[in-house]
Structure 1
């Protein structure tokens, strides 16, 4: 029997001394996925004391969005994107490079980069902050 899985899972990781918001997208996201995701994400974000967080986005099983879901994602990025300190996207896809360039438009203070592997993403995400 075949099945098709899609959706988003969200968690909190501690990597060494860093707390990181972990996001994994699977399959093609739908508008219905965002209808379930957005209220849960808003509750989690509103409970974070530190306004800027580090995000580790696993795109290894992510294949994209339906059109309406892409709009939902854009609205979410506009609303919350400026609260991210660093976003590391990893997954060996051709589109992750241009997707991170688009993501930079919505991050007024933070950084977003794409990587092929989990290890590369974590190394960058958790590297010591440089004092200005």
Structure 2
């Protein structure tokens, strides 16, 4: 499930993923991304993963489509997680976007929140 987190910044989408993400979870953030883009700003995404197991196939496909469509619209992505494969995903994403991407362990989530705001 994807939960929206409030970080009180006008160009930050902040989410927390738990369990398995489906297509409907990914679709939750479309309006948030487009609201930022409509203001002429680039998107900063804080993506926290706790007890996150990945995506179901429709969710993965929707996420890939969204990331491809908005690859140039992201400025920064903070991926915060608890497993090595989550760090690997952050590294895998780098060639597909101009965004600055950093991975943080869960115990460093406050550092990640400060980094995404700078």
Could you say whether these structures have the same fold, taking a TM-score greater than 0.5 normalized by the shorter chain as the test? yes
Residue 81 of structure 2 contacts residue 87 of structure 2 at CA under 8 Å; is this kept in 1?
no
* More helix, by proportion: 2
Matched residue, 1:112: 101
- CA displacement 1:51-72 (0-9 Å, x = unmatched): 3121111112311112332222
Matched residue, 2:112: 121
Matched residue, 2:33: 45
For residues 54-65 of structure 1, the aligned pairs below 5 Å read 54-65=44-55
Count of aligned pairs between the two proteins: 114
Which aligned segments of 4 or more residues in structure 1 are displaced greater than 6 angstroms?
none
- Return the offset for 1:22: 0.6
Q: Which runs of 5+ in 1 are unaligned?
A: 1-6, 128-132
Which of structures 1 and 2 has the larger relative contact order (alpha carbons within 8 angstroms, sep 6+)? Answer: 2
Q: Normalized against structure 2, the TM-score is what?
A: 0.80
Matched, 1:101 2:86: no
C-alpha spacing 1:10/1:106, structure 2 compared with 1 (3 Å):
farther
Matched, 1:10 2:4: yes
Residue 24 of structure 2 contacts residue 59 of structure 2 at CA under 8 Å; is this kept in 1?
no
Structure 1 Cα separation of the partners of residues 114 and 40 of structure 2: 21
Q: Normalized against structure 1, the TM-score is what?
A: 0.73
Structure 2 Cα separation of the partners of residues 91 and 43 of structure 1: 24
Q: Which runs of 5+ in 2 are unaligned?
A: none
Task: Name the larger-Rg structure.
Answer: 1
